């Protein structure tokens, strides 16, 4: 859908929500293992607003949200079912693979084909992430 000027209705993506029952552990993984940068970390009226993102793309990122109630707690680590929560792009899949292993991260479903390569991993809560090296650079 576009507006009358022919442009899209939206100017970009903002934040993807990751539910967490331990925001500090989640932050440590995304920041210290995956290299995300803290974009915003502030507590207001007892609620922590924690946003992280990939360096160079500060307008897009993850909002690490503390669970509220048992319904949300039941979704931690499985909010996308068996599907990946997130796909990250890299130019050097081998370096990412080695880095993940050096941090004790389990890696599986590694593949190489004409379209590039990819691997799967999980964050501390079990959310599946894919790291992909496309043959055509991601836009």
Q: Catalogue all structural domains in the chain, each as residue range(s) with its CATH number.
A: 12-68 (3.10.180.10), 78-139 (3.10.180.10)
Low-confidence ranges of the chain (pLDDT < 70): 1-5, 136-139
pLDDT for the residue 139 = 59
Residue 30 three-state SS: helix
Instruction: At 23, give phi and psi (nearest 5°).
Output: -55, -30
pLDDT for the residue 62 = 96
Give helix then strand counts, H and E, for the chain.
3, 8
Instruction: At 57, give phi and psi (nearest 5°).
Output: -130, 55
Q: Are 18 and 62 in contact (CB under 8 A)?
A: yes
* Residues 8, 76: Cα–Cα separation, whole Å: 33
pLDDT for the residue 84 = 96
């Amino acid at each position: 859908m576009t507006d009358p000027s022919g442009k899209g209705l939206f100017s970009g993506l903002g934040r993807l929500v990751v539910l967490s029952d331990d925001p500090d552990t989640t932050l440590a993984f995304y920041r210290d293992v995956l290299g995300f940068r803290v974009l915003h970390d502030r507590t207001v009226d007892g609620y922590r607003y924690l946003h992280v993102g990939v360096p160079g793309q500060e307008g897009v990122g993850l909002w690490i949200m503390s669970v509220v109630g048992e319904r949300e707690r039941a979704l931690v680590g499985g909010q996308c079912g068996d599907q990946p929560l997130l796909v990250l792009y890299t130019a050097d899949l081998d370096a990412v693979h080695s880095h993940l292993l050096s941090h004790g991260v389990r890696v599986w479903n590694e593949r190489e084909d004409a379209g590039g390569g990819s691997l799967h991993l999980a964050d501390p809560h079990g959310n599946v992430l894919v790291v992909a090296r496309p043959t055509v650079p991601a836009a």
